A and B are shown apart, each in its own frame.
Chain A
Amino acid sequence: MINFLIFLTLIAIGLSFIRFLKGPHLTDRVVAFDAMGVMAVSLLVILSVTIKDNIYLDVAFVFALIGFIGTIIFSRFNVVKEGDDNE
């Protein structure tokens, strides 16, 4: 049962990985990166429930934090670069 769920999560991560590879603009890649981070957090939650241990959830928390910081700093980078091109 749990193997089937892990397989379905891998399908979801793979479909958004294709968008991550072929996205034409930078923002498409950032959106796909955010979605991949959330899907990988749920994959880590399922794996740590099967292992039945408390300590593996720290990695999932750090994963969510890294996805948030990456999205914020790339969106800021977009705006600053646009203002620079207008000069």
Chain B
Amino acid sequence: MSIKQKISIQTISVSFVVSIMIIILLGILLNFTTQFQPTLGSDLLAINANSTETANAVTSVVTYFRGFDTLGEVTILFLSIFGVSLGLEGFKEKLNIFSYQNTLLKIGVDTLFPIIILFGIYVIVHGHLSPGGGFQGGVIIASGFLLMFLAKGDDFSINHKILELVESLSGAGFILIALLGLLVTDRFLGNFIPIGEVGELFSGGIIPLIYIFVGIKVSAEITALLEYFIRIKDVR
């Protein structure tokens, strides 16, 4: 079989699959809006209005009703960073792969860095009022540090001991708040702080505290991961 016949058979099969997928999608989308009935969402909204009263109902599902799952996710992230550091730590001399200096990029990133960090802190702190929360704000802060690594080259480095200390302290704070809830209200991750007005910044009980701890932990972890991946032993 020659190459031209292979290419034509491949193209014909791919276009066949695409046409079948488009037909199925058209069939699904034509009655997308008519058959939509909210069932589980209205129940969750009713429970949320009775118990925690946050403005963003997804937040109370993630950190209050399913708070134990959030603890498990953070633990899995910690284990993955632990494995990466175990594999990549042993080299003596480590240099940045992207060691290519540019003055324009340095000045621009120096201007942009405070804006990105402030936006990440805004996303973390307003997690119970607007979309976002600990994970998203933490990765935004880590992307700000990634820009600094790319622009500054070898001039900008972060001590890994400080990162590990911050990460461990924030994880311990998460578990401490959960145990305080167990002590006061007989429920792991129970709410022991009075709930304020709906829509204010200081409201929602312990949910903003948990999100702040998760944000600090995730930002330290992702920064350590990118820092491990970007450096290598033998640079030409």
Contacts and interface: CB of A to CB of B under 8 A. Distances in A.
Interface of A: 54-55, 58-59, 61-62, 65, 69, 72-73, 76, 79-80, 83-84, 87
Given A72-B105, A80-B97, A80-B98, 9 more contacts: A55-B131, A58-B130, A58-B131, A59-B131, A65-B143, A69-B143, A76-B100, A83-B236, A84-B236
Interface of B: 97-98, 100, 105, 116, 119, 123, 130-132, 136, 140, 143, 146-147, 150, 236
Nearest to A79: B100
Contact of A76 (B123, B136, B150): B150
Contacts of A79: 100
Contacts of B140: 62, 65
Contacts of A69: 143, 146-147
Given A69-B147, A72-B150, A55 B130 contact: yes
A73 B131 contact: no
Nearest to A57: B130
Given A59-B131, A80-B100, A87-B236, A65 B116 contact: yes
B-side interface mostly:
helix
B197 to A, nearest CB: 18
Nearest to A69: B143
Nearest to B129: A55
Contacts of B98: 76, 80
Max count, chain B CB within 10 A of own CB: residue among A65, A73, A79, A84: A65
B117 to A, nearest CB: 12
A61 B122 CA distance: 12
B123 A58 contact: yes
Contacts of A83: 236
A78 to B, nearest CB: 10
Contacts of B123: 58
B37 to A, nearest CB: 22
A58 B132 contact: yes
A81 B1 CA distance: 36
A80 B97 CA distance: 8
Contacts of B97: 80
